[in-house]
Amino acid sequence: MSGTYINTPFVITNNQTEYLESQIWVSFAGTFTNTGTDQTIGPNVITDFTSTWRSFNLADLLAPVPNLPYFGNTAQYTFSLNGFSGRVYINYGPTALTQAPNPGDPGTSPYIVFEPTVDGETLPAPTPTASNMDLSYVDGVSAPAATMVSNATSGAALLATSVNPVTSAIDILSNVKDLVPSGATVSNGSKTVRIKSSAADPSAYHNWTSLMTTLQSTTATNPLNVCSYTSPSTGIPPSYALSGALFGYSGGLVYTPQVPGFDQAQSYNTTATFTTKLNPNNDPVLTGVGITNGTPGVVISGTGSVSGAFSIYITQANLNAGTGIYGNNPPYSVAYTVSGTETAYSTTGIENDLGGRVVGDLMAGMVFGWSASSVNIDAHANATNTNLYGTTFSSPTVGGLMTGELFFLLSLAGAQGTLNDWIGSALDSNTDHYDQYLYAIALNSEAYGSGFTDRLQGYSNPDTYWYTANPPVIPGGGGNYETVGFVNLYLGTVTTAAMAILLTNNDTSQNLTLISSELTGSSSSSELDLPQTIPAGSTAGGYSTQSSKTPYQAKWTYSPDNGKTLLGFECNLSGQSGITIIPSKTGPEADNWELSESPSLEGGIWVVRFFYSPN
């Protein structure tokens, strides 16, 4: 290969205390690209680009981390990549994994899955090169873990194009165990070593017959709306990266057979009706693809703006199969008419085209708890302190939403740290009406609990993206993303640092009055004590948030004119060094003010001075 490649260093931080270093194993399952620039695992340069599995004891990864002032000369558990796609497994026990485990029968070794895709090629400006990774509990959950992309000098968490950091609760294993069926538990003697996911072992979880019976009744008169949606282009904070975002189909593959135009990006408007008879009129074209009279299932009918009218049929048996709703890969049949002639064909699973997108939308909505939900959106937003930013939805209830709107709403809630208020039991009290495992993971981590979380966008997407060169501009202003210094993979939990707050009003003529303040997510406190007034030309100090076992968010707003103009800061803290600060200003005097901050990590505490300055 040719070109210039920049490495991304990875550092493994061992914050768990149950297993010794000799009982921790790191395995790389994936493809290394020979870029011509050295890549390393610990002190060893990768020279074999044919192996797709290689394992090491954690101690084998101990080496200096070059070009990272944050670590100095102290060796770390590290590897450095510029061309890799696959998984990094970390397992605990006497021996390393020797191959990718079967998620449905993972044995007695607890293991954690990180999924990096690293592309370090430097492209001509202004084109950025993006790499990404996620912490995945899609197979199941064995132990707490976390990820963070960080600054090379300070170690502070960097703003990324999705959640950063991604953490999990210290007691995630026991918490998830309490929320899912007992058959999902894998034990080694009396010790629980893993909870299998619904995708890994659907037979351990409820089937969907109860929900589909309910939907056969309700959708006869009120079909589910499986439709694309583009979020409002204004009014949503730039930090959420959701203004004008497409929740729909953006193009895919051409294959045979296929509805003409199914590969092209387009909007779509379809409805889903569950029935006990998919082919009541004995249509011979449908019979020819196995959709016979008396077959229960769902028909999704409507139009694509390019492809025109079509219908998709999925049998109840295929929805209930492990590859169906849980696995998001059911076989289905597609029917359409060209020049007056009806045509139909079947797939063996989801194809990367419009039909596949529509089917996936329906499956995703069902696992989130949308399909039979009667929850009133505005009332629930008020109850959960979720800001809808004036968005007008097509239905007052969640179940009446278009799927694209649902995924936007979940993304909006996720960006505010309230995703678990909008899925699972929060939408439907019947545990047979949603994916219990997905919900349990969401209560305990921002990580992937299901492949359906790909429907979430902006800063709610569990994938964390970073840039090795030419980082793009932050949406809505605020400069450019930083290029990543290193990626930290945490084993165990990450205690979130405390924050000491100093508030400086640089305007010598106007006082600032506190309008609101809140602290959410902290395990230490539920209140944020700030001064009612910051006098003109003064600094107020002695205010703080305590360290927490969980990530937390501190938000406050001051005003120079009794609430007409709002000057706010949103501080998101996660882990020992993770902090993101988002200023905001609205109202008649907003343009007369500049908001800024100066954070420094001192003795494990974030000391942050916040400035309110006149233009």
Residue 506 sits in a domain of what CATH number? 2.60.270.50
**Token representation of residue 571:** 């501080």
Distance CA 158, CA 579 (A): 8
* Residue type (1 letter), 399: G
Residue 413: per-residue pLDDT: 92
Residue 140 sits at φ, ψ, to 5 deg, of: 160, 180
Task: Output the pLDDT for position 477.
Answer: 58
Task: Count each helix (H run) and each strand (E run) in the chain, helices first.
Answer: 8, 33
Query: Using only C-alpha atoms, what is the Rg of the chain?
Result: 26
In angstroms, the CA 160 to CA 580 distance is 10
Spatial separation of the C-alpha atoms in residues 336 and 258, rounded to whole Å: 10
Q: How far apart are CA 446 and CA 464, in angstroms?
A: 11
Residue that the structure tokens 């709107």 belong to: 405
Domain shared by 168 and 309, yes or no: no
H-run or E-run covering 543 = strand 538-545
Residues 64 and 105 placed together within one structural domain of the fold: yes
Say if residue 173 is in the same domain as residue 123: yes
Kindly report the backbone phi and psi dihedral angles of residue 209, in degrees, each rounded to the nearest multiple of 5, phi listed first.
-65, -45
End-to-end, the C-alpha distance of the chain in Å comes to: 51
- Cα separation, 615 vs 592, in Å, equals 5
CA torsion, points 383, 387, 393, 399, in degrees to nearest 10?
A: -40
**127 is in which domain, residue-wise?**
9-195+462-491
Handedness of CA 420, 426, 428, 431 (dihedral sign): positive
Give one word for 379, left, alpha or beta, with left for phi > 0 and alpha for psi -120 to 50. alpha
Same domain for 290 and 223: yes
CA distance 142 to 522: 24
When divided into structural domains, the chain yields a total of: 3
Question: How many CB atoms within 10 Å of residue 183?
Answer: 10
Order of all β-strands in the sheet with 185-188: 140-141, 191-196, 185-188
Q: How far is CA 519 from CA 189, 504, 523, 527, 543, in A?
A: 42, 20, 10, 5, 13
Residue-level pLDDT at 284: 96
Question: Residue 308 is inside which H or E element, if any?
Answer: strand 308-315
Q: How far apart are CA 608 and CA 503, in angstroms?
A: 9
Q: How far apart are CA 541 and CA 531, in angstroms?
A: 9
Question: How many CA atoms, within 13 angstroms, populate the side-chain half-sphere of residue 188?
Answer: 11
Residues 176 and 208 in one domain: no
10-residue mean pLDDT series, the chain (615 residues) = 84 93 97 96 96 97 91 94 97 95 87 97 87 95 92 77 80 96 93 94 96 98 98 86 93 96 98 97 96 96 98 98 94 96 97 98 98 98 93 97 98 88 97 98 93 88 88 71 90 86 95 95 85 95 84 93 96 82 94 92 82 95
Calpha distance 385→130 (Å, rounded): 34
Same domain? For 563 and 433 the reply is no
On the CB side of 77, CA atoms within 13 Å amount to 19
Prediction pTM value:
0.84
User: How many angstroms separate the CA atoms of 612 and 337, rounded?
Assistant: 63
Write the Ramachandran bin of 245: left for phi over 0, alpha for psi from -120 to 50, otherwise beta. Answer: beta
Helix (H, G, I), strand (E, B) or coil at 1: coil
Please check whether residue 202 is in contact with residue 327, taking contact to mean a CB–CB distance below 8 angstroms. Answer: yes
Contact 89, 97 (CB under 8 A): yes
Report if residue 237 sits inside a domain: no
How far out from the chain centre does Cα 532 lie? Answer: 37
Mark whether 474 and 508 lie in a shared domain.
no
Do the domain assignments include residue 223? yes
The reply to whether 135 falls in a domain is yes
213 shares its domain with 181? no
- At 376, list the tokens: 């009133």
Please check whether residue 71 is in contact with residue 11, taking contact to mean a CB–CB distance below 8 angstroms.
yes
User: Is residue 239 in a domain?
Assistant: no
Ramachandran region, residue 603 (left: φ > 0; alpha: ψ -120 to 50; beta: rest): left
Is residue 448 in some structural domain? no
The pLDDT value given to residue 178: 96
**Cα–Cα dist 295/280, whole Å:** 9
Do 289 and 170 sit in the same domain of this protein?
no
Question: Hey, how many other C-beta atoms are within 10 angstroms of the C-beta on 250?
Answer: 10
Cβ partners under 8 Å of residue 341, min gap 6: none
Please, is 527 exposed, middle or buried when counting C-beta atoms within 10 Å of its C-beta (0-12, 13-18, 19+)?
exposed
Q: Are residues 214 and 190 in the same domain?
A: no
- Are 485 and 514 members of one domain? no
Q: Using an 8 Å Cβ cutoff, are 449 and 438 in contact?
A: yes
User: Nearest-CA neighbor of 308 among 357, 257, 361, 262?
Assistant: 262
Q: Are residues 84 and 159 in the same domain?
A: yes
Tell me if 267 is assigned to some domain.
yes
